[in-house]
Amino acid sequence: MKVYNCINQIQTELAKTGISKDNINQAQRYKFRGIDDVYNALAPLLSKYGLCMLPEVMERTVVERVNQKGTALFYITVKVKYTFVAAEDGSKHEVVVYGEAMDSGDKATNKALSAAYKYAALQVFCIPVEGDNDTENSHHEIKYNQPANTYDRLVTLIKDRKLEKNVQSFCNMYKVNKLKELQERQMLELIERITNL
């Protein structure tokens, strides 16, 4: 089976150079190796030895959290299967890894996929590295786990702020009998009002 020969040849080449942590996170002052470092080291060798590294996302989970400033953060976990295929004979080997990332915008999934790829490559090819495992070039301080749906977020916020006695007032403000009858936009508006109290 050629696939294992290809993996071993790439391991042999990377054993000489490894991938060091040459990037520096300016905010938290730690060194890290980025996904580009892994791509740049690995891509020429995958091509040279005729090995394809094919991803398949098997699962993706999202948890919404809040940082110390009250900004929403999206915590993503992906389960990815990588199939290593030798171009010469089609022999293959599969590896399943998880990638995790957090972002306040639309980049959390991309970051999680990058983490999965990076650690699959580091482990399969036994790439020598320096220092501890890194968390890429970002860091978020979590205030608390935040429920995924808007209604649960609203109820949690009311409890956290000890405003249970105000629930009827909130309902009267929107002319509903109970919080669950609020429309999504009304819940979001109420969350914002309570947050700014």
- Give me the domain span that covers residue 73: 2-142
| Residues 94 and 112 occupy one common structural domain | yes
| Residues 97 and 163 occupy one common structural domain | no
| Residues 65 and 94 occupy one common structural domain | yes
Give the residue from 103, 118, 142 where a domain finishes: 142
CATH code of residue 125: 3.30.390
| Residues 127 and 31 occupy one common structural domain | yes
Which H, E and C letters describe the chain, residue by residue?
Answer: CHHHHHHHHHHHHHHHHCCCCCEEECCCCEEECCHHHHHHHHHHHHHHHCEEEEEEEEEEEEEEEEECCCCEEEEEEEEEEEEEEECCCCCEEEEEEEEEEEECCCCHHHHHHHHHHHHHHHHHCCCCCCCCCCECECCCCEEEECCCCHHHHHHHHHHHCCCHHHHHHHHHHCCCCCHHHCCHHHHHHHHHHHHCC
| Residues 151 and 115 occupy one common structural domain | no
| Residues 154 and 186 occupy one common structural domain | yes
| Residues 106 and 137 occupy one common structural domain | yes
| Residues 182 and 103 occupy one common structural domain | no
89-146 pLDDT, tens digit per residue, is: 999 999 999 999 888 878 889 999 999 999 899 899 988 865 444 444 445 555 555 5
pTM: 0.61
32-61 pLDDT, tens digit per residue, is: 567 888 888 899 999 999 999 999 999 999
**How many domains, the chain?**
2
| Residues 77 and 160 occupy one common structural domain | no
